[in-house]
Structure 1
């Protein structure tokens, strides 16, 4: 009798219990999503600490502007060559880079004893650029990988992305309350954040490299993709003890090109671009620099960031209720274009409204962002073969990151006429 590790693709495809491990896979996808953005969200959440160190350098805007070109440029290259890049090593490299960069951020602060200065700021910018490269590896790689699996896996991964923001916001409020009256309270909270982020990144390396590829349902989907001609899953199948059959790879020549996939799904690509153009033109720079002073004082931007993140997370579970999921292509486009009414709404609320109205507005921003993102990414990859779904997933993440970059750049327009500019 042969060992389980010696099974071929055909035997896995014919396995009677191919749904085994579904819940475990969803949990792992959630944690992997958390690890994808927990380091970056920690940077955003400790923005008040960086504003104390670098008050004249607009850290929330500048660091985001540094992050995005590296993320966008890297995902552009990876999307072009995605059919030749092994997803396993791409994602492991991304999570490892996240781990090392977060650890270096912690070491940099310890080495400088929490002092500011242009040298320290440049060092942080370099590390943030590494975050961007890591994000492009992981986010595009994971969405592409999960696109030929169950839509529930993408939903769990996207929920994990939002959970990283909610978790860091909650911890930031706790640490601010705990350390507010102690010496260097902001710095102690920031150090705790970076240490927690470093742990999560290490956990993601372990889960993705060792545990995830051995789940039966993951083996099934990856072997199915390989039988349809995908070359990106070979290392994952080998890690799971499954032999690939080289004759099936000739099918990869029959797949649609990236250009064909893009134009067939150009509305979905535009959807994601517009969602994040709008969101990142407001979050987080506007919330830190353009909302004025209110009764909450130094707590005010932290509360706004927390409300956005919490509602962004909650909204990513709404599409699980089938009757509440928006699948119409025209309906999605209408809803996304309607969000641009947030621009005048935020302007007039910041100028004339009380903090309660701003908190409500930020909550709706997060609610619509998470809900529409999940709707688009779970509907778009349907009706294609495994290699095409992987390619489309990468293209959609490219458009998403393009929207983030454009939104961050446009966010500087809020500073026109502002004496802080």
Structure 2
């Protein structure tokens, strides 16, 4: 009895003596990590015009999406149910290394083998393999980073999810730059693709260095120690029963995240960029709509640093209310002429990004706090599973169903 009381006093002492995050360094690093682990995927899909030129008979983006999301989902499930005790520090470093390998293959293959030639389909098969390799890396890095942020105070999860939106904004700005500066021929396409992959490679090096720094910061070490002491003072339960208990605890949060991304991915970018047109903006219209979505997605995720909605019922209600985007977009595509113009469509797309960012961020921040601290990492990884499930279902719906 005395031992338990001493342990409780020790844990209370640690929770009231949390080291300062000097210069917000840990917060900034987690923001950069959130930006970094989505950049490789963004590089692949943003270079779609380059890949479409090289492989004109393939549905490049759709194939990339199916391969990337399915591989990520399978690997995340393996991490949760088979390799849960595989330390996050090792998983993340291995994942960053796999990202570097996958990203280096595309420009090296172009320089030494494809050389800008169209129809060299051996290159396509290799590219699909490295997209799958990126899916493995994504499961290791995204699951690991979000899982580790889940063990820390809420602001660090907010930093990670905001970083994921910053990744989209960065890539959108690069897309605008390359379209404005490079000629729209094979030389311009090759240069833009090299830019995307070079930035992603640079970010992977930065993420590798910063992650190995953040794991040594006092505030992170403090919470890791606190989690370990909680684990030692809790009764052991079987791995599978523990996982299912966590799922039962966070299931509504996970359902909300899944629903958010089903709605968003079934509309954006497919119908938004392919089914609306502007005689004024022409082929810039789709690029600007994507940029508006990414910017407002970042704003939404950043708003949780100012005001975090802690009412789960309201957050889940908002997730279901977002189903109204379907009739609203139908109105913009097939309704009165004034609804089909640039301002209504841009406004609705911005609102889609804002609500996606804010409510996904709220649920991802709150979910890991619903379980005991020693289960926070697993809860964080499971939330990523729900997220990728929503992305996968939404991607499939966008493929087979057009507004």
**Structure 1-normalised TM-score?**
0.85
CA displacement 1:373-421 (0-9 Å, x = unmatched): 11001112224332211111111111111111111111112359xxxxx
1:204 pairs, out of 203, 207, 228, with: 207
- 2:327 corresponds in structure 1 to 344
1:362 CA displacement: 1.6
Structure 1 unaligned blocks of 5 or more: 1-8, 230-247, 417-421
Alignment of 1:6-405 (within 5 A): 13=14, 16=17, 18-21=19-22, 23-81=24-82, 83-110=84-111, 111-117=113-119, 118-180=121-183, 184-209=187-212, 211-229=213-231, 248=232, 251-253=235-237, 257-292=242-277, 294-322=279-307, 325-351=308-334, 353-405=340-392
Give the drift of 1:45: 2.3
Any conservation in 1 of the 2:18–2:222 contact (CA below 8 Å)? Answer: no
1:170-225 deviations in Å (ceiling 9; x for gaps) = 1110121111367621221121111111010111111112x111111011011111
SS for the counterpart of 1:149 is coil
Shifted more, 325-334 versus 260-269: the winner is 325-334
Measure how far apart 1:297 and its partner are. 2.4
Distance in 2 (alpha carbons) for counterparts of 1:183 and 1:384 = 53
Q: For 1:257, what is the secondary structure of its paired residue?
A: helix
**Structure 1 Cα separation of the partners of residues 268 and 54 of structure 2:** 21
Q: 1:307 to 1:54 in 2, by over 3 A?
A: farther
Question: Counterparts of 1:48 and 1:354 in 2: how far apart (Å)?
Answer: 26
- 2-structure distance, mates of 1:141, 1:80: 14
- How does the TM-score come out when normalised to structure 2? 0.89
Distance 1:23 1:251, change over 3 A: farther
The CA RMSD over aligned residues, in Å, is 2.4
Q: How many residues align?
A: 386
Match of 1:6 in 2: none
Unpaired runs of at least 5, structure 2: 1-9
